Structure 1
Amino acid sequence: MSLNYNRLAVSRPSTPSALSAFSFALAVLVALPVLAVGANLFASGTGETWSHLMATVLPEYVMNSIWLCLGVGIGVAAMGTGAAWLVALNDFPGRRIAEWALLLPMAMPAYVLAYTYTDFLQFVGPVQTSLRESFGWSKGDYWFPDVRSLSGAIVLFSCVLYPYVYLLVRTAFLERAGGMIEAARALGLNPWQGFWRVSIPLARPAIAAGMALALMETLADYGTVAYFAVQTFTTGIYRAWFSLGDRIAAAQLAAALLGFVALLILLERVSRGRARYHDTTGRRRATRQVLTGWHALLAQVGCAIPVVIGFVLPAMLLLRLAMGDAGEEGGGFSGRFLLLARNSLSLALLAAMLAAMLALLLGFAARDGNRLTRLANRIVGLGYAVPGSVIAVGVLIPVTRLDHLLAALWQQMTGANPGLILTGGIAALVYAYLARFLAIALQTVEAGLTRITPSMEAAARSLGSRPGETLRRVHLPLMRGSLLTAALLVFVDVMKELPATLVMRPFNFDTLATQTFTLAADERLAEASSAALAIVAVGLLPIILLARQIAAGRSEISSC
């Protein structure tokens, strides 16, 4: 007797229409700030405003932004690619430490680095003071570069943003370059020739993607360029909204900045589309070139310089300032610091928990391949590319109009004017955070959902579980790690976020980031050091996660 087995096709569950509608509605809310900024391009009076901007400040904003992008792009590409090549394709004493230490500058916000090095390198700082005392110089006897300049901003941005390129290029070298690099060595190419002829072409898509991320962060920055008096779109948006009270001008500048970001995304996509390389020799990793003698020393120095400049030295300077300020009244970890920490932690925790929950719902809704839910997730995924200042302006425009409408209705009903309820409130600020950082949580959750097979969902359905029950009993237990990681990443980004918080915070409400900016702008860096150190300490959390992933990957390689 023969048995015939029919193949059982496991189909994905259909997403309930309510969940699909929720996903699309959430995507609309995330896109609303961008739509509001775009709509103001056609508001009355925009022609005159745009002509005024073109004749006055816009050319300076455009040129400074272009120079920043060019300088930072070259800087992060050179530093990130060089560091990735050293640790991925070479072996030298201290390489394993360098692999994770090169990530440390990611924990240091660019604006904190700007404040620290300004204090360290200014005329009355320790460096110039030591030079004058050692050589007997006085003011005017020597030349010293001005760190508070466009070139200074380029250097500092490069020092904290190169890890974006380093991470992606290191992965490209490890996972895709093995066979070709071995073939290049067999053909007699020396390491330098192999670097330029093989490694760089293979890593071009990764370099382009890392540069795009770094340049988006550069364009979104406000604290560094404002402190260095470098006029860019973000400083113009803040000044137009708060100093001049010109909503239309702020929206126009926000739209122009959004155009810059869209151009970056387009260039990155074009670069990746035209530069696709396939390693037909397999996924075997290349044997690392063993460096000895002065070659090993140069590799150690090359890896140490960006870590020292981007993290170790500024962290030590901040710690010295914080210890000196601890003895002052109200300094150190005083009651004021605890209040700032409470404000920052409460905002970050609220935004992180909401982002993780919403990302789980979005990811679960997209499991069936519904076009509407996939479109919604793509829209949400673009939120991180929008600078915080643009998000803030885009949120304030519709929220302010809604506030005026609600106030008018309430006054008509009761005769009392309630004032503006939503504008300048915590809810609007958290909405801005979610519009920007929900994309991070969604990407993390989607990666975690790939580990849940359709057969698991089919088994739950066969046992009579409804979609909500399946989500609670199957997905939540298996997704606990991914949800915690998503919440952690959003938590850290909210703690460091400055432009959106500055624009949208409630009256007399400060966070660690805004207090650091305010005190540093008043040349009171010692008082700002404790808050800055707390931000850096929180920024170390995702670095620890990345370091653990690097160590886990190393263990997998050694076990093969």
Structure 2
Amino acid sequence: MSSRRFFQRLFFNEAGLAWRLGSLLVAVCVVSPVITLGWLATTGSIGHWTHLLQYVLPTAMGNTLALLIGVGILVSCLGTGAAWLVTAYSFPSRGVLSWALLLPLAVPTYIVAFAYLDILHPIGPVQTVIRDILGYGSPREFRLPDLRSLPGAIFLLGFVLYPYVYLSTRIMFSTQAASLLEAGRILGQSSRGVFFRVALPLARPAIAVGVSLALLETLNDIGASEFLGVQTLTVSVYTTWITRSDLAGAAQIALAMLALVVALILLERHGRKRQRYANTQRMRPIQAKPLKGTAALIAVVLGWLPIIVGFVVPALYLLAETFKHLQQAGGVSEQLLHSGYNTVRVALIATAVVIVGGLVVTWAARGVRSRSPYAASKVAARVATIGYALPGTVLAIGLLAPVNFIDDALSWVVELFTGVSPGLILMGSSTALVGAYAIRFLAIAVGGLESGLARIPPSLEQASRLLGETPTGTLRRVHLPLLRPAIGAAALLVFVDAMKELPATLLLRPVNFETLATWLYAEAARGTYEEGAVAALAIVLAGLLPVILLARHQLKSGH
């Protein structure tokens, strides 16, 4: 067989062998950190486990569970309450609130903690004003409770992560039939009874999904927890590896985190596995009840409170600190500009890798039936999305062994031919960091591209094939032009998430390599908030664009 015919069969035949092999390769890359994590954990001695079980895991696990429970309760109340408020009632500024409630998504948790630590500092603006009003002269005479605590972490994370619950729950509320609520009223239920006995049970699957996403983000957080003095599992992994240089111990703690992630996912699925709802009649949406007077004022206050706490206050603080720093320093430092360049460069490369990987996975799985001999492509597509559930610290620990193995192999090959050892190739560059971003955010591209492909009629593909086009040619000439909106949206989300990622960046960045996130982390650790505010503001401004696009999409779907 000629080489040309071989490659034609490999890439362009009906089965799409190359696409399937590429899909399986992507899935192997995603799952390899989990496998190596277990192997690294077993390399540690029994003494490691004894020390962890006695001194590290009880405190870290207890704090992590308390943080997850507290954040879960708070985001459930805030997200569900806000969703019902803007769905069931009409009051001034309701139209603005419906999309503004998503704005805290633009502010990473560690930036909110960074901002509030300075705002609520004993000699910060808030406590200084309060002491002036009450007539106290120094922080020794009067000070608010310290924000560096577990309740402080729960409060801040809850007000940042509630939009996950709000978004999914509002969509569920807006699609519920008004006839169901009217039936509850006819049967004697009050407005409160209709909400708790009809609307809320129907929305439980959406609430479970939103809470699970918020808890996964909580588990992935490292900056806010460390800034606020809460020793979580994520912080323990970082300190065990960086401070004690104990890779096996860090892997063991990461394995405990992975078990917690699996438990969260199973709990979320168990919570909604028996939830079934079907409506075969034409649905009439819920009609918002007008509010006036005191009731309208209370609704406005309750609606805007989460936005003020989760977005407005930290955003105004960052603007003020940035303006003050630029006036004093006369501009942005060269090191910060270089950190911004590193951030954009790595995020762009990671975005390109993620989009290509997502396209390979989704195209290989398109149209494959569950009993087909090529059903492995479907499995690969599902496996490729598990990276988003892996906290950045867990992913970084799991990537170390594969990356070091490849580094050793490349170094041996280069030295064999040149006689010179190149040193660390992947770990010495940003390649490992790009790989971590790609694995973690591949689920975003896969989900977006699957949704985009689902909207393309199969008849277009059939017509292309009848005209003699190959599967790859059909993708290039038919599907890719139609997938541009889905690709653009997925690329934007991946790019912004890569810019904000802190845990994996801290652990896998090369020496003397800073991004905006790690620059902010270092400045906060040193207590120099002014320079860090510039980096934080840049990250928030980058995160605003996808949030605005998401809000626009939500309004369109709502109409």
Q: TM-score, normalised by structure 2?
A: 0.94
1:446 lines up with 2:450 in the alignment: yes
- Whole-Å separation in 1 of the counterparts to 2:428 and 2:259: 27
1:63 lines up with 2:62 in the alignment: yes
Superimposed CA distance per residue, residues 67-88 of structure 1 (whole angstroms, 9 cap, x where no aligned partner): 0011000000000000000011
- Whole-Å separation in 1 of the counterparts to 2:376 and 2:142: 65
1:421 paired residue among 412, 419, 425: 425
Contact 2:336–2:519 (8 Å) recurs in 1: no
Closer/same/farther in 2, CA of residues 337 and 261 from structure 1, 3 Å limit: same
Q: Which amino acid aligns with 2:401?
A: I
The residue aligned with 2:319 is 319
SS in 1 for 2:425: coil
2:486 paired residue among 478, 482, 502: 482
Deviation of 1:247 (Å): 1.0
Superimposed CA distance per residue, residues 153-197 of structure 1 (whole angstroms, 9 cap, x where no aligned partner): 100100010000000100110113433112223334332221111
The residue aligned with 1:9 is none
- Whole-Å separation in 2 of the counterparts to 1:506 and 1:279: 55
Q: Which amino acid aligns with 1:460?
A: S
Q: Which deviates further from its counterpart, 512-521 or 405-414? A: 405-414
Closer/same/farther in 2, CA of residues 180 and 345 from structure 1, 3 Å limit: same
- Whole-Å separation in 2 of the counterparts to 1:15 and 1:283: 42
Q: Which amino acid aligns with 1:59?
A: P
1:259 lines up with 2:259 in the alignment: yes
SS in 1 for 2:327: coil
Deviation of 1:410 (Å): 4.7
- Whole-Å separation in 2 of the counterparts to 1:15 and 1:386: 32
Closer/same/farther in 2, CA of residues 31 and 332 from structure 1, 3 Å limit: farther
Superimposed CA distance per residue, residues 79-114 of structure 1 (whole angstroms, 9 cap, x where no aligned partner): 000000001121111111000000000001110000
Superimposed CA distance per residue, residues 407-453 of structure 1 (whole angstroms, 9 cap, x where no aligned partner): 35555665543322222421111011001001111100100001112
Deviation of 1:509 (Å): 1.1
Superimposed CA distance per residue, residues 492-545 of structure 1 (whole angstroms, 9 cap, x where no aligned partner): 100100011111111111111111111011111111111101100111111111
Alignment of 1:171-250 (within 5 A): 171-250=171-250
The residue aligned with 1:10 is none
The residue aligned with 1:7 is none
1:462 paired residue among 466, 469, 491: 466
SS in 1 for 2:214: helix
Deviation of 1:297 (Å): 1.1
- Whole-Å separation in 1 of the counterparts to 2:139 and 2:19: 68
- Whole-Å separation in 1 of the counterparts to 2:313 and 2:42: 49
Closer/same/farther in 2, CA of residues 409 and 350 from structure 1, 3 Å limit: closer
Q: Which amino acid aligns with 1:60?
A: T
The residue aligned with 1:31 is 31
Contact 1:71–1:154 (8 Å) recurs in 2: yes
1:269 lines up with 2:273 in the alignment: no
Q: Which amino acid aligns with 1:395?
A: L
Contact 1:177–1:199 (8 Å) recurs in 2: no
Superimposed CA distance per residue, residues 26-82 of structure 1 (whole angstroms, 9 cap, x where no aligned partner): 110011111111222332x34331122101111011100010011000000000000
Could you say what the CA RMSD is over the residues aligned between the two structures, in angstroms? 1.7
The residue aligned with 1:529 is 533
- Whole-Å separation in 1 of the counterparts to 2:144 and 2:477: 64
Contact 2:123–2:139 (8 Å) recurs in 1: no
Contact 1:208–1:271 (8 Å) recurs in 2: yes
1:287 lines up with 2:263 in the alignment: no
Superimposed CA distance per residue, residues 103-161 of structure 1 (whole angstroms, 9 cap, x where no aligned partner): 00000111000011110111110111122222232334335111111111100100010
1:340 lines up with 2:319 in the alignment: no
Contact 1:179–1:279 (8 Å) recurs in 2: no
Contact 1:322–1:332 (8 Å) recurs in 2: no
- Whole-Å separation in 2 of the counterparts to 1:409 and 1:49: 36
1:505 paired residue among 494, 503, 509: 509
Contact 2:30–2:386 (8 Å) recurs in 1: no
Q: Which amino acid aligns with 2:69?
A: L
Q: Which amino acid aligns with 1:79?
A: L
1:545 lines up with 2:549 in the alignment: yes
The residue aligned with 1:81 is 80
Closer/same/farther in 2, CA of residues 341 and 410 from structure 1, 3 Å limit: closer
Superimposed CA distance per residue, residues 188-238 of structure 1 (whole angstroms, 9 cap, x where no aligned partner): 433222111111111111111110000000000010011112111111111
Q: Which amino acid aligns with 1:94?
A: S
- Whole-Å separation in 2 of the counterparts to 1:355 and 1:415: 35
Contact 1:216–1:261 (8 Å) recurs in 2: yes
The count of corresponding residues between Structure 1 and Structure 2 is 541
- Whole-Å separation in 1 of the counterparts to 2:355 and 2:76: 32
The residue aligned with 1:107 is 106
Contact 1:392–1:432 (8 Å) recurs in 2: yes
SS in 2 for 1:327: helix
Closer/same/farther in 2, CA of residues 178 and 280 from structure 1, 3 Å limit: farther
Superimposed CA distance per residue, residues 369-390 of structure 1 (whole angstroms, 9 cap, x where no aligned partner): 1311110010011110100111
Q: Which amino acid aligns with 2:493?
A: L
Superimposed CA distance per residue, residues 243-290 of structure 1 (whole angstroms, 9 cap, x where no aligned partner): 111110111111111111110000001111023334466532111111
- Whole-Å separation in 1 of the counterparts to 2:186 and 2:96: 30
Q: Which amino acid aligns with 1:131?
A: I
SS in 2 for 1:274: coil
Deviation of 1:401 (Å): 2.9
The residue aligned with 1:95 is 94
- Whole-Å separation in 1 of the counterparts to 2:416 and 2:337: 43
The residue aligned with 2:9 is none
The residue aligned with 2:384 is 380
Deviation of 1:549 (Å): 1.0
Q: Which deviates further from its counterpart, 241-250 or 488-497? A: 241-250
- Whole-Å separation in 1 of the counterparts to 2:88 and 2:402: 52
The residue aligned with 2:168 is 168
Alignment of 1:335-414 (within 5 A): 335-369=334-368, 370-408=374-412, 410-411=414-415
Contact 2:396–2:436 (8 Å) recurs in 1: yes
- Whole-Å separation in 2 of the counterparts to 1:542 and 1:410: 43
Contact 1:424–1:504 (8 Å) recurs in 2: no
SS in 2 for 1:172: helix
- Whole-Å separation in 1 of the counterparts to 2:153 and 2:55: 23
Deviation of 1:327 (Å): 1.8
Q: Which deviates further from its counterpart, 29-38 or 159-168? A: 29-38
Superimposed CA distance per residue, residues 467-493 of structure 1 (whole angstroms, 9 cap, x where no aligned partner): 111110001110011000110010010
- Whole-Å separation in 1 of the counterparts to 2:552 and 2:130: 42
- Whole-Å separation in 2 of the counterparts to 1:332 and 1:511: 18
Q: Which amino acid aligns with 1:541?
A: L
Unaligned runs of 5+ in 2: 1-12, 369-373
Identity over aligned residues, as a percent? Answer: 46
- Whole-Å separation in 2 of the counterparts to 1:61 and 1:117: 24
Q: Find runs of 4+ consecutive structure 1 residues off by over 6 angstroms.
A: none
- Whole-Å separation in 2 of the counterparts to 1:280 and 1:450: 23
Q: Which amino acid aligns with 1:407?
A: S
Alignment of 1:37-52 (within 5 A): 37-43=37-43, 45-52=44-51
- Whole-Å separation in 1 of the counterparts to 2:220 and 2:303: 27
Q: Which deviates further from its counterpart, 505-514 or 95-104? A: 505-514
